[in-house]
Amino acid sequence: MSTTWHILGAGSLGTLWATRLARAGLPVRLIVRDTARLQAYQAAGGLTLVEQGQAQCYPVPAETLANDAPIERLLVACKAYDAEAAVAQLAHRLAPAAELILLQNGLGSQDAVAARVPQARCIFASSTEGAFRDGDWRVVFAGHGYTWLGDSSHPVAPIWLDDLEAAGIPHAWSVDILTRLWRKLALNCAINPLTVLHDCRNGGLQQHQCEVATLCSELALLLEHCGQPAAAQDLQQEVERVILATAANYSSMYQDVANQRRTEISYLLGHACEVAARHQLVLPHLNQLQQRLMAHLRTRGLPSD
């Protein structure tokens, strides 16, 4: 009998994972905040995944945070700023050898979650898949990608990677997951805030090459100082490549701001600046970027953390 996948966070990525696991016949349970959300979910009849224009509804069973059945495997699919508090509400339900898979972008939230549940194994993930909600309990699979998973304190891959194989979730076990997360964080720091401040698509940053290059050199310095030299290698070239390859797209942070949604700034640029300060590393352009972005968010009435 397979272990149940509990999914915390019925948003874009949570739904993308829940529906594919359920489609493969694996046991999945969705965890929603409260009875009102549970009733709304039950009225909808399940989670809908839209792929290549085709919508399919999956009646994944759901429960509230208040349910007290033990949890052995938990996919944490909340935003970085919600992850720690959401997991804290479930900590008492975790079985002794529970495993958590943390899908959050950026860095900082994973360590906060791990500190809340020291008895559990926390597996970090970095995903390039793309999905967005086009209605309550409805998600559009927008971009095929890959998910790397890893555990820097215990490099042996878990057997449930077979479930991901069965569900058609493209993935790989990574022995250097922190390097991957730092590299993605650096890419996001070099691109996303500037797209917000210059009000442009990723491709618009081709008009701001000097600014991008200066940020890349400060980010590379930071990565070298915090024990991640591999993540620093050819950073600027990769940033330029991503800007070209995604020229027509709006960055995720741009989309958050445009839709009046809280950003994950504290786990991206905020985390970079915090780690730099801890290493007494002076990175003036990165700090100035953080200040400009925070001021911009405040003028839009959005949280600056």
Binding status of residue 192 toward ligand KPL by CB under 6 A: yes
Of 104, 127, 188, 236, the residue at the interface with ligand KPL (CB under 6 A) is 188
Helix (H) / strand (E) element for 203: namely none
Binding to ligand KPL by CB under 6 A, coded x per residue (else -) over 230-249, reads ------------x---x---
| Dihedral over alpha carbons 298, 302, 181, 5 (to 10 degrees) | 160
Tokens of 33: 């905040």
Q: Which is nearer to ligand NAD, 68 or 156 (CB)?
A: 68
Binding to ligand NAD by CB under 6 A, coded x per residue (else -) over 113-152, reads --------------x-xxx-x-------------------
Which has the closest alpha carbon to 77: 129, 119, 144, 40? 129
Phi/psi at 204 (5° precision): -65, -20
Catalytic residue chosen out of the listed positions 20, 180, 184, 271: 184
Sheet holding 147-150, edge to edge: 62-64, 28-32, 5-8, 71-76, 94-102, 121-127, 147-150, 171-173
Tally Cβ neighbours within 10 Å of residue 145: 11
Binding status of residue 263 toward ligand KPL by CB under 6 A: no
List residues near ligand NAD by CB under 6 A.
8-14, 31-33, 65, 77-80, 82, 86, 89, 103-105, 127, 129-131, 133, 264
List residues near ligand KPL by CB under 6 A.
187-188, 191-192, 202, 242, 246, 251-252
Which positions are catalytic? 184
